[in-house]
Structure 1
């Protein structure tokens, strides 16, 4: 029996049960990132009560930033704020090294002040992203999305097996994680439409129940083995205290936060492209206006987090994968998630409850979502034809990026401190490599591709020319296929068209030109001879010019295949046919 798919699109209104369950799933998946502000508070020497208040402010910051991203509106004629997608904001490892250094040097005050600076930097980045469009081709976007999925998957796997814990591969840890993952997979594949929408929530509940049923309750999610043993004994008092700290500024630590802002900008770029593709079945290319609005909201979220007193945030790639897996992409879920975190920030004891979800179980949810992110990146890469240059950009970018996690000591010892602040992760190293190679390969790149084609040589040389041109320019494979169809139709009529005015001439050639950009593929034919024009209606009557009739049919078919087709006679008497296909 095949069950019907139930999909809640961006502007849909899911039933209350689905809405609340989906919001709870995202919040459960987001909870794992609360470990970062907790580690920062511990690095600053905060006591248990201050850590509780700091986590409450962190929840408040996540809620505000998530609402900003989901808004997608304008105020007072200012630029659009937020992508409008279900794309929650969480704390990120991109800011963690710099935040830990700031916490040890200047306390939580320095973390807050430098986070404000990072947010302002990201706001500036959001205003100029469109100008860097030529340096961020779609294959690099696909590489970023794919690497984000792989990185999250590796992190998830470490959580599942209990990597760096005192008792790895334990029944309560790994066993509970596998139970949660199995539940999610079963519901996602064989469950009813409603259960599919709640697969992660049910999996989290099943894994948590398994964990505690084993009688081996581990420390809460955000507490590393060296964490305070009395966390569960924290007093249940009103947690929201603001201002907890007064922001200060440590200029010496600024470069690390600026590098984090750059990393978050590029990561949110990839997340928004993945969201655009998830919400649009006919997605073809990044919507840069929407991306700029999303990066602006991401920067405003980090700026707000600094004002509140916590560290910086970033869009959450795992939530994109979760939305695709459950097919719940409604914007209302993002609003519920944002409001939910704000409510939890005001609820006494909420930090203890949220942090008590087992680490391995959260890893299972993260691994489940990561699989969909990886596939999204691969699908983006598969949409484009890649020549040798673009293959090298993607392949070397990926391989060099992966080497970062395999050779951390090598990079730490051989990279300059300035470069280490920029290349701070496998994603950043891979992206830096791909961007550098792409910029180098753009030197001397042609704006168009040309060939002289002899109709007597047949269609194969023309077909190969178009495929090569599509790979050079990274065009969409389906759009290039339409150009090949157009060229094949023209080739059937070319021998009767090309030649002198007195008649066809063996060896006569057609000038073929392609011009590709981000939106349109253009194929132009220029030849000396007869024009390609509408012919008489098809008939079996004698005396009809068969060439003219067949050429008219060819022109009609080409008009159906192309999005735009223009014909004209040039000043030197040659004829031009220009075909355009949107990509």
Structure 2
């Protein structure tokens, strides 16, 4: 179920924008994602496919991307979020070699193995909840944006192969496109803000044409393409054990990326986000694997969720799932009409670079916000800092990571993968020595509000608990202790037992004396002037209103009041 819509979204998850708005927003997602059919083209060229085999390989991939996008947007099957599928670039080296050896049949078989890994990860995701605190998720979102910087700059500047020179006209086109996008997004009011990208793309494209800057696909080649091309020619299947380890490792890395992307969209669609909805993540991974299966069976390339389109969705302020449905349908149409897909790929590279940089800015700041939503102890500071350093190092000094053994090379394939895996590992290592339980014997005569606040504040910083949860727990627990002591319900000192995990914070107030009660209706205020049991009923009712749940246990004189706060 969708949470409260953030203020920066014009159209949230369950909103239904006007049809014209849906079509325009879906079209810009479709245009952006069709830029990435360069991936299957690279595989086909490297594997030496014939023109007919290449066309079928690309068509089947686009068709599966469209179906996968529809499945992701359908919350009864997929994640229920606006997530667009694209060809998975992590498999490119393996697929080129496999295609050279066994042709489309071997690629199809390896794709099915990749699909199985992606779908099965969705079934075992729930036990991983403790591995995904806010700082790990925040690192993933931040590095998702950082990982888009290099491809964005490459396209904006059209750098030479040795990165020693760039095209000045490309820089101008990209700068004008980005400036216009930002101007509309920041200064425009109402509906025009949604169309910042189409306006910038249109202006940038016209400027590129005026400067003689051609798109990546020459217009003359479109006429040679068929109007209709159905991806129904099955490739057959073949198997070669030599390629299995690489494809399985790549699929695992892709699943980690998918996990980070889905948590990103959950966080940015819910203003009150607390933790990952693992049921939604699980469905999304199954939908991911299903799309990959369809592509492989039809003879295409394994698919994956597009990080660029995630950034685009939040940059435009429109994340309605109906937009994903429309974009999926457009991709299916594009697969059936190759001339449509080819036309979309003619967007100039500098314009595409501006779009990617525009999206990256949103993702980076969203990740930082997520990281800072929790208290940062020294352990968490180093988890975040070292993980981001690891990811950025791959961008700054890529030569260091070349020549790695094939068994571990995929882990260093992208800044996002390296940073996410580093964060997961450091989070596990830094948990050593941290107890998830703490006890406190309340000093007699001390102010319970000061003692409880200092105790829970210290533990909250150590555990990385949310600030608002610690504040609420401190206030309610101190109120319980003061009421129990002042009303004479406790015959001896009160003890606090606190337990924390990523889903909730439990505070147990233990004492010997008269038990609290939890009435179904609010007691009259005059009960505070009654005997101890009248006061106990009023205190029990008050605590039930100030916490997410209240459990009262009594064993003779020994009482335990468990106050739960959802985290």
Q: TM-score, normalised by structure 2?
A: 0.88
* Alignment length (residue pairs): 554
Does the 8 Å CA contact 2:156/2:349 hold for their aligned counterparts? Answer: yes
> Displacement, 1:160?
1.3
> Displacement, 1:263?
1.6
Name 2:546's counterpart in structure 1. 561
Counterparts of 1:248-263 in structure 2 under 5 Å? 248-263=238-253
> Displacement, 1:132?
2.4
Does the 8 Å CA contact 1:255/1:421 hold for their aligned counterparts? Answer: no
Q: Distance in 2 between matches of 1:327 and 1:131?
A: 33
Does the 8 Å CA contact 2:152/2:357 hold for their aligned counterparts? Answer: yes
Name 2:93's counterpart in structure 1. 97
Give the SS at the match of 2:407. Answer: helix
Q: Distance in 2 between matches of 1:383 and 1:273?
A: 15
Name 1:38's counterpart in structure 2. 41
Does the 8 Å CA contact 1:44/1:108 hold for their aligned counterparts? Answer: no
Give the SS at the match of 2:506. Answer: strand
Q: Distance in 2 between matches of 1:68 and 1:330?
A: 14
Quickly say closer, same or farther: Cα 1:48–1:569, change in 2 above 3 A.
closer
> Displacement, 1:480?
1.5
Pick aligned residue for 1:20 from 23, 32, 36 = 23
Name 1:76's counterpart in structure 2. none
Name 1:65's counterpart in structure 2. 68
Counterparts of 1:159-170 in structure 2 under 5 Å? 159-164=155-160, 169-170=166-167
Does the 8 Å CA contact 1:498/1:527 hold for their aligned counterparts? Answer: no
Q: Distance in 2 between matches of 1:409 and 1:105?
A: 29
Correspondence 1:465 to 2:462: no
Quickly say closer, same or farther: Cα 1:555–1:164, change in 2 above 3 A.
farther
Does the 8 Å CA contact 2:194/2:317 hold for their aligned counterparts? Answer: yes
Moved more, 456-465 or 341-350: 456-465
Correspondence 1:124 to 2:114: no
Q: Distance in 2 between matches of 1:567 and 1:57?
A: 60
Pick aligned residue for 1:284 from 274, 288, 310 = 274
Pick aligned residue for 1:55 from 54, 58, 75 = 58
Counterparts of 1:302-381 in structure 2 under 5 Å? 302-381=292-371
Counterparts of 1:424-443 in structure 2 under 5 Å? 424-443=413-432
> Displacement, 1:494?
6.3
Moved more, 256-265 or 96-105: 96-105
Q: Distance in 1 between matches of 2:314 and 2:490?
A: 59
Q: Distance in 2 between matches of 1:538 and 1:499?
A: 18
Give the SS at the match of 1:417. Answer: coil
Counterparts of 1:72-151 in structure 2 under 5 Å? 72-73=75-76, 81-151=77-147
Give the SS at the match of 2:497. Answer: strand
Does the 8 Å CA contact 1:231/1:352 hold for their aligned counterparts? Answer: no
> Displacement, 1:567?
4.5
Pick aligned residue for 1:395 from 378, 385, 390 = 385
Quickly say closer, same or farther: Cα 1:56–1:18, change in 2 above 3 A.
same
Pick aligned residue for 1:204 from 197, 201, 209 = 201
Q: Distance in 1 between matches of 2:19 and 2:62?
A: 23
Quickly say closer, same or farther: Cα 1:575–1:236, change in 2 above 3 A.
closer
Does the 8 Å CA contact 1:563/1:582 hold for their aligned counterparts? Answer: yes
> Displacement, 1:539?
11
Q: Distance in 2 between matches of 1:158 and 1:383?
A: 33
Q: Distance in 2 between matches of 1:91 and 1:144?
A: 20
- The runs of 5 or more residues in structure 1 that have no matched partner are 74-80, 221-228, 502-507
Q: Distance in 1 between matches of 2:367 and 2:438?
A: 29
Does the 8 Å CA contact 2:130/2:502 hold for their aligned counterparts? Answer: no
Q: Distance in 2 between matches of 1:437 and 1:211?
A: 46
Q: Distance in 2 between matches of 1:87 and 1:147?
A: 18
Name 2:443's counterpart in structure 1. 454
Q: Distance in 2 between matches of 1:554 and 1:363?
A: 61
> Displacement, 1:53?
4.0
Name 1:219's counterpart in structure 2. 216
> Displacement, 1:377?
2.2
Moved more, 134-143 or 182-191: 134-143
- The runs of 5 or more residues in structure 2 that have no matched partner are 1-6
Deviations 1:498-528 (A, max 9, x none): 7984xxxxxx743111112333211122235
Give the SS at the match of 2:125. Answer: helix
Q: Distance in 1 between matches of 2:451 and 2:548?
A: 24
Q: Distance in 1 between matches of 2:43 and 2:500?
A: 49
> Displacement, 1:111?
2.4
Quickly say closer, same or farther: Cα 1:575–1:49, change in 2 above 3 A.
closer
Quickly say closer, same or farther: Cα 1:477–1:523, change in 2 above 3 A.
same
C-alpha RMSD over aligned residues:
3.2
> Displacement, 1:491?
5.5
Give the SS at the match of 1:83. Answer: coil
Q: Distance in 2 between matches of 1:309 and 1:167?
A: 39
> Displacement, 1:555?
6.3
Name 1:419's counterpart in structure 2. 408
Q: Distance in 1 between matches of 2:141 and 2:122?
A: 19
Moved more, 276-285 or 296-305: 276-285
> Displacement, 1:236?
2.9
Q: Distance in 1 between matches of 2:551 and 2:240?
A: 62
Deviations 1:549-569 (A, max 9, x none): 999887665444222334455
Q: Distance in 2 between matches of 1:231 and 1:433?
A: 47
Deviations 1:66-106 (A, max 9, x none): 12212233xxxxxxx31121111012322222223323443
Give the SS at the match of 2:274. Answer: coil
Pick aligned residue for 1:179 from 170, 176, 193 = 176
Q: Distance in 2 between matches of 1:536 and 1:568?
A: 24
Pick aligned residue for 1:404 from 371, 394, 399 = 394
Deviations 1:461-493 (A, max 9, x none): 432321232233332222112112113434654
Does the 8 Å CA contact 1:387/1:468 hold for their aligned counterparts? Answer: no
Q: Distance in 2 between matches of 1:22 and 1:218?
A: 22
Name 2:3's counterpart in structure 1. none
